[in-house]
């Protein structure tokens, strides 16, 4: 990243309002747009089905925030070809998922496409319906460039939406991505009415699994105990508002995955993420028992009860290998 990118927080305050382009008109994108607009920024919302062109949406944008689904990231990036952007434009990724071909995160894909621009990750325990209702929430914006994260922090902070900065974008991004797999498992747990003890054990061991693969990936362990890891895990594993939770809950109720997805609003990113994680864990010999059982369940290889039994009957072991 060029050292010339030194926009300061003071500069931002003195030149408000900013121009912000939101890519994606789903619940999450519109919620973030509403926060930025309420803060006095000029906001354009772009979607593939809308009338506003991408060129007009991002023209003069100080911040371009992507809230599109994982499967649409590369397609949208390809549409930037030929567009002129300010060298100071900051890209923000609010997508939670993994690329099935490369196992790259959305932030890594954006950085590859725009190597000379700052890339910021936004992630946390942020159920969009609660954000829409104006309920209080907190999130994390992470970047290797502190000033970029601070600019985004100022752009989206409000008295209902508290934004923290972080210097571990990979860890923040993986926290929001990996917890979707655990949310499917949590939905199964509740759907089978297994009780509070089982749910607590599942979420705790799920966090251990997230830390294990996240650290192996190169993220900081401590990040997973923050808002984008543990915080997002608790929110998503305990709320019927979560699409991933709903997938697990309805599978436990006897519905097929095809039936569930045909009526599910939006994308349950945990389904694709599970497949990518199993592929990566097998290649690199990383133990991920919960993820493996979620994968087998999604593939129709086991029933929810069989997946539970296989987890409970695994070989005995210490809780931690110190």
226, 232 Cβ separation under 8 angstroms:
no
Residue 175: both structure tokens together:
């926290």
Q: Of the candidates 243, 219, 259, 11, which has an alpha carbon nearest to the alpha carbon of residue 121?
A: 219
Q: Rounded CA gap, 298 and 176, in Å?
A: 20
Q: Rounded CA gap, 317 and 221, in Å?
A: 22
192, 305 Cβ separation under 8 angstroms:
yes
Residue 276: both structure tokens together:
């990518």
Q: Could you give the 3-state DSSP secondary structure of residue 140?
A: strand
- Cite the DSSP H helix spans in the chain: 9-14, 27-38, 54-58, 73-78, 106-113, 128-132, 146-156, 169-191, 196-217, 232-237, 243-252, 257-263, 269-284, 289-298, 304-312
Going 212 to 280 to 273 to 294, the CA torsion angle's sign is negative
Q: Rounded CA gap, 93 and 91, in Å?
A: 7
Q: Rounded CA gap, 193 and 189, in Å?
A: 6
Q: Rounded CA gap, 233 and 56, in Å?
A: 37
* Residue 247 CA: distances (Å) to CA of 95, 201, 299, 305: 19, 20, 13, 15
Q: Rounded CA gap, 132 and 118, in Å?
A: 28
Q: Rounded CA gap, 49 and 176, in Å?
A: 27
Please tell me which residue in 179, 199, 255, 317 is annotated as part of the active site: 179
Residue 96 a catalytic site member: no
Which residues does the annotation mark as catalytic? 179
């Amino acid at each position: 990243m060029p050292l010339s990118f030194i926009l300061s927080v003071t500069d931002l305050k003195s030149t408000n309002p900013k121009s912000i382009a939101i890519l994606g008109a789903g619940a999450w994108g519109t919620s973030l747009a509403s926060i930025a607009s309420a803060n006095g920024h000029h906001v354009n919302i772009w979607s593939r089905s809308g009338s506003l062109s991408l060129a007009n949406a991002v023209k003069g944008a100080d911040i371009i925030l992507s809230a599109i689904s994982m499967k649409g990231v590369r397609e949208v990036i390809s549409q930037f070809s030929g567009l002129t952007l300010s060298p100071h434009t900051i890209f923000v990724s609010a997508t939670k998922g993994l690329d099935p071909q490369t196992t790259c995160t959305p932030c890594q894909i954006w950085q590859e496409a725009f190597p000379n621009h700052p890339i910021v990750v936004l992630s946390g325990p942020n159920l969009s319906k609660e954000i829409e209702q104006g309920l209080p929430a907190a999130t994390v914006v992470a970047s290797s460039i502190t000033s970029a994260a601070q600019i985004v922090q100022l752009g989206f902070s409000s008295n209902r939406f508290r934004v923290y900065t972080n210097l571990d974008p990979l860890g923040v991004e993986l926290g929001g991505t990996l917890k979707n797999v655990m949310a499917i498992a949590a939905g199964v747990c509740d759907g089978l009415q297994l009780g509070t003890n089982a749910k607590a054990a599942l979420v705790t061991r799920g966090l251990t699994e997230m830390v294990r693969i996240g650290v192996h990936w190169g993220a900081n362990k401590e990040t997973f105990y923050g808002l984008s890891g543990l915080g997002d895990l608790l929110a998503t594993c305990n709320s019927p508002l979560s699409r991933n939770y709903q997938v697990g809950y309805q599978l436990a109720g006897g519905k097929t995955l095809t039936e569930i997805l045909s009526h599910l609003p939006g994308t349950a990113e945990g389904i694709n993420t599970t497949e990518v994680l199993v592929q990566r864990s097998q290649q690199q010999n990383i133990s991920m028992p919960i993820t493996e059982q979620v994968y087998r369940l999604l593939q129709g290889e086991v029933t929810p009860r069989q997946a539970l039994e296989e987890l409970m009957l695994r070989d005995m072991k210490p809780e931690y290998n110190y």
